[in-house]
Amino acid sequence: MSTKLGKYYICDRCGTTSFLEKIGEGETDGGFTKFDKFEEAEGWNTVYPEATHSMGSSKLLCPACSEKYNKLMQKFFDDWRDFDRRG
Ligand SMILES: [Zn+2]
């Protein structure tokens, strides 16, 4: 049995999880500050829904939910443009 260091991403919408393994450490300030490096969270996105209107209310979305979110927003702005054109 082995132990892996890393972090979990949990989707705020559907609860899907993704484990990102720690792949090393980085340094800044010439080595004074160290930070953990993790695998790339491909497709995951942090969004800030306007409706919540408060700081710290960002939502983390898995790739599937990110796609849905982006499509929804795209449709929203497309509709908006159509509405503008009708004047
Ligand atoms: Zn999701």
Least confident of 23-27, 41-45, 48-52, 59-63: 48-52
Q: From ligand 1's centre to the CA of 3, what distance in Å?
A: 26
pLDDT tens-digit profile of 26-39?
Answer: 998 888 999 999 99
Q: From ligand 1's centre to the CA of 30, what distance in Å?
A: 38
d(CA 29, CA 62): 33
Q: Which residues pair with 38 in a beta bridge?
A: 22
d(CA 85, CA 87): 5
Q: From ligand 1's centre to the CA of 83, what distance in Å?
A: 31
Q: Which residues contact 6 (CB under 8 A, 6 or more apart)?
A: 19, 20, 21, 22, 38, 39
